[in-house]
Every structure is written in C-alpha cells, then in structure tokens.
Amino acid sequence: MADPRTLAEILRSITTPAIAVSGGVDSMTLAAVTHRHGIACTMVHAVSPAVPAEATTRVKTLAEAEGWDLKIIDAREFADPDYIANPANRCFFCKTNLYGTMAQAVGGTLLSGTNLDDLDDWRPGLEAARQHGVRHPFVEASFAKQDVRALASGMGLQALSELPASPCLSSRVETGITIDPATLQRIDRVESELRRRHGYHTLRCRKRAGGFVLEIDPDRLDSLTASQRLELAAEASVLADETVQLAAYKRGSAFLRGAK
C-alpha cells in the first residue's frame, strides 16, 4: 500500500537528487513533494520539439510558485539519428539522451516519476534509466498512478492531480516514420487549439503512413452528429495544413511494436 511517509523516507535517503520533470502529473508531483519536505533538489526540464509548449509552461509556472531550483536543458535527442528514425524502441534513445545530458548538467542521483502502473507496459526508456542509475521513488514506495494523483490532490495541487496523460509528441508519430520537428509542431498546434476550443479531455493527433488522424474519446465521438464530425475534421485539417481524419482514441495506437 502506498504510504507518503515511506516515500518521504526514501527521498530523504537519496544523496543530491535531481528530478527529470516532464510536465506530467507524476514527475511534477514528485518534484513538489520532494521540495515541500525541505529536501535540496534540482528539477530538470528538457525542452525540445517533442515537448508540448503547454508542458513547459506548466513546469515553469509551478516551479515559480513553489520556489524550485529549476534548470532548463536541451536533451539533444534530435541530434541522434537513432531517435530520428523512430524505431520501436525510440524511447530508449530519447531517455538515453535525457539522462546523459542531465548527468552532465547537474550530476547527483537522477530520479524519475515512474510509478507501478508504468511497469505493466513495455517501456524501453526504463532500460535507459537502468543504465544511468536512475531511481524511481514512486516505484520504491509502491505508488500506482491513482496514488500519485491522490498525493497531488492532498497537497492542494488539484489541477495537477486531474491532469490527463500526455506522452511526448513523438509518440503521436507512427513507428518507422521519421520524427520531424515541423510535424510535431503541427501536432501540438492541432491538439492545443482544439483542446482550448472544445475542452476535450482525451485528444491525440496522430501522424500515420496514410496521413493525419485525430483521435478523441470514443463516447464523445459517438455523440457527434455527422455534420459535427465534418466540422471538427475541417477544423483539424486547417490547423494541420493537411487533411485530417477522425477516429476513436486508442492508447498507443501509433506504436507498432513489431516494426524496426
């Protein structure tokens, strides 16, 4: 069972911690709880074309409000041809660049916001973390995703606790299609603008071999009339500057594990 006291004990035992803060609920909650326990810690946020602008803004806003020691870095994954090629284990190369850059920039013991639920999926980035000696305090303290959200809520960070999952923008590009910053910018524009206009909780703009696809919550999609679907697809197409089709949201649908 997740116990915040156990988590605090683990955090206090770590020498010179540095947390990779992506802008999601897990890493930001870990950063917040570490700082509020008076533990000297550096928060590190990597900016790149794969990081949604909203995520960077969210990190900077909370860092200022909480008084974090925040460092902004370029993880330089876009200089890595293995990452650009977008193989099935792209995340390994992404995290390898991230943790390597963090180690050079701040040193110390690197921490991630990985929780128990993340261990149920195939995540090549965890191998990169292992190779760099990264620790996962939430895993060590037996925190699942719902425990992390409850912790954030209990700390008064309600908006953070309700934040929907939002992996990096490169996860929207079908495995095997080259990762291109311009494409990621279009994806970010479609998602952020349509979320602002319509309040969609679940929204993904995918780049597939056959073109762009906008995925929204299946129940929400079913509730739309034929004309509303056409209007939404037209909106997305204008924002993407390319024809966009609609589909029901399916987690990880751009990821083709069997691809090279």
Going from N- to C-terminal start, the domains of the chain cover: 4-161, 169-248
Neighbours of 72 (CB within 10 A): 14
Tokens linked to 240: 């993407």
Helices 25-36 and 53-66: angle between axes, nearest 10 degrees: 10
Tokens linked to 185: 């910018």
Tokens linked to 119: 């261990």
The pTM of the full predicted model, rounded to 2 decimals, is 0.92
Q: Which of 3.30.460.80, 3.40.50.150, 3.40.50.620, 3.40.50.300 would CATH assign to domain 4-161?
A: 3.40.50.620
| pLDDT 10s digits, 164-209 | 887 899 999 999 999 999 999 999 999 999 999 998 878 999 999 9
| pLDDT 10s digits, 160-174 | 999 988 789 999 999
For residue 143, pLDDT beyond 70 = yes
**Among 121-125, 126-130, 134-138, 237-241, which stretch is predicted with the lowest mean pLDDT?**
121-125
Structure confidence at residue 258 (pLDDT) = 56
| CATH 3.30.300 matches 169-248 | yes
Q: Are 205 and 172 in contact (CB under 8 A)?
A: yes
Tokens linked to 176: 């095997």
d(CA 127, CA 149): 25
Q: Are 110 and 20 in contact (CB under 8 A)?
A: yes
* Residue 99 banded pLDDT, cuts 50, 70, 90: very high
